[in-house]
């Protein structure tokens, strides 16, 4: 295992040096050139490994095949990770550092700037005592989300190549851009990928196995006020900002992200913009339960109607959109792929932790595109943050989970 550990670690430390932040304002695919640079690097690496059907398309989606090494006809399984890092924190000039045999306690990331990964703020770091953990210098994110997943998939393929005694069917891998801005699946070529099912390797803590995510929608209230001189405003002015405040006051504050957990849904106030004459209020709506989600969407319609009844017809216009759905609908008929992942984790010494995703995932969109696609742990902690870190030992277990899944398909 030391050979595969070093192989994996060498690649991960190289991968995080690529600046691959995605950009929500861009209209091209991928949204940043850095993602293409990284994809081209991986393309050459996969070809050098001797993989087949290596294809990098003009949108930055990279596909490759590890051929079957047994005669038995088996389902084709895929593994997917994303190229981009979050625009929430700089991913330029990442300087990773390995803290070997972490002894516990605070970790000084940057002494000069007094940036410290404090146990008081992030107590989970002490769950990794004795591990080798990779941190940053505090000026950037690390990029374990999802370059840990990329490195783990590549290392798992290399392990299978080095161990031909492990029999497996055809394995497909794919690396896609723009996941962090919700577009990762938009140009994914599911027919070309040609898998019976796949797994995204994009989860966090050891053992995470996710096949449920939020149903998701958005609501944009556009408010048209009437602005007149405040000295002569009585009976004339309609302050759009006060209407905006009324909308916010109407939506239950107890059903916000900061007050909910687990399977509880929420209304998340994203922004309030504008002035007296015109304003906008933006929400996202989330719930795992489809029926409750639809009630939440209906509530936003009722809120707009209530405001128009109170302030006058045409005061508030509502743009309501459904964004994505809970992948459980697509995975549940094929629960053997979840049992396969659980067994693979246990063989790697990992206790499966089945939990809902309190967010979205490429796997959700891919599942509704005909590719059932649960999510596996990759090991990163504190995603999108200067305090992001990952355990090398957890990454090793992710590699062996992938290997065990590939090998376990033949038993289905």
Q: Catalytic positions, please?
A: 84, 179
How far is Cα 285 from Cα 265, in angstroms, rounded to an integer?
Answer: 8
Q: Is the peptide bond before 30 cis (omega within 30 degrees of 0)?
A: yes
Q: CA triplet 82, 403, 339: central angle to 5 degrees?
A: 90
Q: Which of 328, 71, 50 is nearest to 211 (CA)?
A: 328
Instruction: Tell me the C-alpha to C-alpha distance, in Å, between residue 213 and each of 220, 358, 374.
Output: 22, 6, 10
CB proximity list for 152: less than 8 A, separation 6 or greater: 8, 81, 201, 378, 379, 395, 398, 399, 402
Q: Which of 255, 249, 252, 269 is nearest to 310 (CA)?
A: 249
Provide DSSP, 234-280: TTT-B-HHHHHHHHHHHS-GGGSGGG--TT--EEEEEEEEE-SSEEE
Residue 402 has φ and ψ, to the nearest 5°, of -60, -45
CB proximity list for 51: less than 8 A, separation 6 or greater: 64, 65, 66, 157, 173
Residue 366 has φ and ψ, to the nearest 5°, of -65, -35
**CB contact at 8 A, 109 and 115:** yes
How far is Cα 37 from Cα 151, in angstroms, rounded to an integer?
Answer: 16
């Amino acid at each position: 295992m030391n050979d595969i550990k070093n192989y994996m670690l060498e690649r991960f430390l190289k991968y995080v040096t690529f600046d691959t932040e995605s950009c929500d304002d861009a209209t091209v695919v991928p949204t940043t050139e850095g993602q293409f640079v990284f994809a081209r690097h991986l393309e050459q690496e996969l070809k050098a490994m001797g993989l087949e059907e290596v294809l990098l398309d003009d949108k930055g989606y990279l596909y490759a095949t590890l051929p079957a090494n047994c005669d038995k006809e088996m389902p084709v399984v895929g593994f997917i990770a994303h190229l981009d890092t979050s625009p929430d924190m700089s991913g330029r000039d990442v300087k990773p550092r390995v803290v070997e045999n972490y002894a516990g306690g605070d970790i000084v990331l940057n002494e000069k700037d007094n940036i410290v990964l404090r146990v008081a703020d992030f107590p989970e770091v002490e769950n990794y005592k004795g591990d080798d953990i990779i941190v940053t210098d505090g000026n950037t994110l690390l990029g374990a989300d999802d370059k840990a997943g990329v490195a783990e998939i590549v290392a798992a393929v290399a392990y299978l190549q080095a161990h031909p005694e492990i029999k497996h069917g055809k394995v497909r891998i794919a690396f896609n851009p723009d996941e962090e801005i919700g577009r990762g699946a938009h140009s994914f070529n599911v027919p070309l990928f040609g898998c019976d099912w796949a797994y995204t390797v994009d989860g966090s803590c050891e053992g995470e196995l996710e096949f449920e995510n939020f149903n998701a929608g958005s609501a944009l209230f556009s408010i048209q006020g009437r602005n007149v001189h405040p000295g002569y405003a009585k009976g004339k002015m309609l302050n759009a900002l006060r209407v905006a405040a009324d909308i916010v006051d109407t939506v239950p504050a107890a059903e916000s992200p900061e007050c909910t957990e687990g399977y509880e849904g929420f209304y998340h106030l994203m922004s309030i913009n504008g002035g007296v004459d015109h304003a906008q209020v933006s929400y996202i709506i989330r719930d795992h339960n489809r029926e409750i989600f639809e009630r939440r969407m209906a509530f936003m319609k009722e809120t707009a109607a209530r405001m128009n009844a109170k302030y006058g017809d045409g005061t508030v216009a509502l743009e309501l959109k459904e964004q994505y759905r809970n992948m459980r609908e697509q995975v549940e008929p094929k629960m053997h792929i979840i049992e396969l992942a659980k067994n693979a984790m246990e063989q790697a010494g990992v206790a499966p932790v089945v939990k809902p995703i309190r967010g979205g995932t490429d796997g959700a969109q891919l599942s509704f595109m005909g590719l059932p696609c649960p999510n596996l742990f990759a090991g990163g902690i504190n995603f999108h943050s200067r305090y992001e870190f990952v355990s090398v030992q957890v990454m090793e277990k992710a590699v062996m989970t992938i290997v065990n899944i590939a090998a376990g398909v033949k038993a289905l």
